[in-house]
Amino acid sequence: MTTATDLTTITLTISDHVATISLNRPDVLNAFNDEVSAEFIATLKHIARDDDVRVVVITGVGRAFSSGQDLGDLEAKYVPGHVPTMATDLKKRYDPWVKLIRTMEKPVIAAVNGVAAGAGCSLALACDMRIASEHAKFIEVFVNVGLVPDSASTWTLPRLVGLGRAMELCMTGRPVKADEALAIGLVNQVVPADELESATAKMAARLSSLPGKALGLTKRLLNDSFERTLPEQLEAEAFAQDTAGRTADHFEGVTAFLQKRTPTFTGK
């Protein structure tokens, strides 16, 4: 097991090809500030380059996944005459990790242990799969402070739950509890709180045992499919299949099938 020791607002452990990133500011419900964002982005970049890591899990320490932006950091700024530079903050603090998660050719699982609000909700939605504790709650809180959803929520949410439902959740800012989140397709699983870690580990282990290149290519195809025509998608599938067909894992999979044994994939 590898544990990063130079991080102060998140923790990173790597074991059995699974990297687990935990937001670690439980006293403020794992809210984002500049330090969290910088460490999170740097860690994601490191993981993306680490060939030993095949699956990524993102979760929170304590009773929350993440409450989003740390509004306490803004108290000194919000005086009469203050004009926020929202676009600059997004491009520096949030947009980089959204892009890293969506383009990283490794499965990323959100283990949502509690409230996921604002940018914390966006973080959960940006992941490829979501396993939620029974105590999880998703809230697009932006409208409550006169803002619009960001960190890709307006891109991910309608793809998960449909345009009409996304409109409702973003415009009302109402909380979505775990059981409703499962019913509307916002999460993949809901489990008892004391089983979240084991359920996530089971999914991560399953994914880490599969052909990594095939998973990465599949993720890319699915993410890009919304912007392509059918002929373009067929062409992209053909190219990806050609790429996957040249991997050692493809050869191992076919050979194992013919030999009637369980394949051993190496991610190569």
pLDDT per position as a tens digit, 125-140: 999 999 999 999 999 9
Residues 136 and 221 both lie in one domain:
no
Q: Domain containing 221 — which CATH number?
A: 1.10.12
- Would you state the pLDDT for residue 2? 64
- The amino acid sitting at 196 is L
Residues 180 and 136 both lie in one domain:
yes
Residues 9 and 114 both lie in one domain:
yes
- Would you state the pLDDT for residue 201? 97
Instruction: Convert the pLDDT of each residue in 15-42 to its tens digit.
Output: 999 999 999 999 999 999 999 999 999 9
Instruction: Convert the pLDDT of each residue in 201-238 to its tens digit.
Output: 999 999 999 999 999 999 999 999 999 999 999 999 99
Contact 98, 110 (CB under 8 A): no
What domain range includes position 37? 2-208
Q: Which of 224, 230, 17, 229 is nearest to 107 (CA)?
A: 17
Q: What is the pTM for the complete model shown?
A: 0.93
Tell me: pLDDT of 76 over 70: no
First to last CA, the chain: 22
Q: What is the tally of structural domains in the chain?
A: 2
pLDDT tier, 177 (very low <50, low <70, confident <90, very high otherwise): very high
Taking the C-alpha atoms of residue 104 and residue 128, their distance in angstroms, rounded to an integer, is 10
* Residue 263: inside a domain: no
Q: What percent of the chain has pLDDT over 90?
A: 88
- Would you state the pLDDT for residue 216? 96
Residues 53 and 163 both lie in one domain:
yes
**What are the CA-CA distances from residue 145 to residues 55, 85, 184 (Å)?**
35, 15, 26
Residues 172 and 241 both lie in one domain:
no
Contact 19, 13 (CB under 8 A): yes
Tell me: pLDDT of 5 over 70: no
Residues 222 and 200 both lie in one domain:
no
Q: At what angle do helices 95-103 and 212-224 cross, to 10 degrees?
A: 120
* Residue 133: inside a domain: yes
Residues 226 and 179 both lie in one domain:
no
* Residue 265: inside a domain: no
Strands (E), 113-266: 115-117, 129-133, 137-139, 176-177, 189-191
